[in-house]
Amino acid sequence: MNTQESLFNAVVDDLVEHSYSIQINKAPIEICKKLLEQAVNNNNLFKAASVGRNNLQIEDKTIRSDKTKWITGQSQTEKDWLSWCEDLKNHLNRSLYLGLNNFECHFSIYEPGDFYQKHVDAFKGKSNRKVSMVLYLNENWQPEHEGQLVMYPEGKPALKLDPTFASFVVFLSEDIPHEVLASQHDRYAIACWFRID
Ligand code: OGA
Ligand code: MN
């Protein structure tokens, strides 16, 4: 079994057991380095993130204050990342029969003071988003930079995760409320949602 396949198997096992999976420094390193470079260089193209469901998208800085930029495959780096996501989607479908047939990803940047209040990515039966993934791109992240992801699995203690380079989390979009604590440092990540459209 190759390393990607055993990584994806570990994600599947965790999803079955806990509805989430945390993988520290396991994403493809070369792609992550280039994604970070691209995010830093295109910083000026990021736009205030919106919140809401379906066609009601509003900018609400009391809920989240990060900025985002969609990943469309416009560079080889973006293509490489989307292809890794496609592999993960196919693996989830083969192992869990999820029937995922689409996905979307965006970069996000949290500048000092930025946060995202506790939320779910999908309301039961109301959204096409089924599986969420967040990839972190921050080298040398220090505890005093805060900006942790906090997940609230039902009936279990909350989990706090530092957004460290090449680490990622996968979770069932409807099942895990989560938040991003105010970051004290520029914080780069990519959020992806695997969908049934
Ligand atoms: C999101 C989100 C978490 C993170 O964009 O919906 O919850 O750690 N992001 O950046
Ligand atoms: Mn979220």
Q: What is the DSSP secondary-structure string of 152-186?
A: --TTS--EEE--BTT-EEEEETTT--EEEPPBSS-
- In whole angstroms, give the CA distance from residue 20 to residue 30: 25
Ligand closest to Cα of 180 equals: 1
Q: How far is CA 138 from CA 50, 124, 145, 188, in A?
A: 23, 32, 11, 6
3-state secondary structure of 189: strand
pLDDT of the chain, 197 residues: tens digit per residue? 889 999 999 999 999 999 999 999 999 999 999 999 999 999 899 999 888 765 667 778 889 999 999 999 999 999 999 999 999 999 999 999 999 999 999 999 999 999 999 999 999 888 899 999 999 999 999 999 999 999 999 999 999 999 999 999 999 999 999 999 999 999 999 999 999 99
**What are the tokens at 118?**
């506790």
The neighbouring-strand residues paired with 168 are 23, 135
Confirm or reject: Cβ of 170 under 6 Å from ligand 1. no
Confirm or reject: Cβ of 108 under 6 Å from ligand 1. yes
Q: How far is CA 66 from CA 53, 61, 121, 197, in A?
A: 18, 8, 15, 27
Under DSSP, the state recorded for 52 is E
- Please identify every residue whose CB atom is under 5 Å from ligand 2, which is an ion: 121
3-state secondary structure of 12: helix
| pTM of this prediction exceeds 0.85 | yes
3-state secondary structure of 23: strand
The residue type found at 42 is N
Quote the ligand 1 centre to 5 CA distance (angstroms): 25
Q: Whose CA is nearest to atom 6 of ligand 1?
A: 121
Confirm or reject: Cβ of 129 under 6 Å from ligand 1. no
Q: Which one, of 72, 46, 56, 5, lies nearest residue 189 by Cα?
A: 46
Q: Three-class SS string for 70-138? A: ECCCCCHHHHHHHHHHHHHHHHHHHHHCCCCCEEEEEEEEECCCCCEEEECCCCCCCCCEEEEEEEECE
Q: Which one, of 107, 104, 105, 113, lies nearest residue 47 by Cα?
A: 107
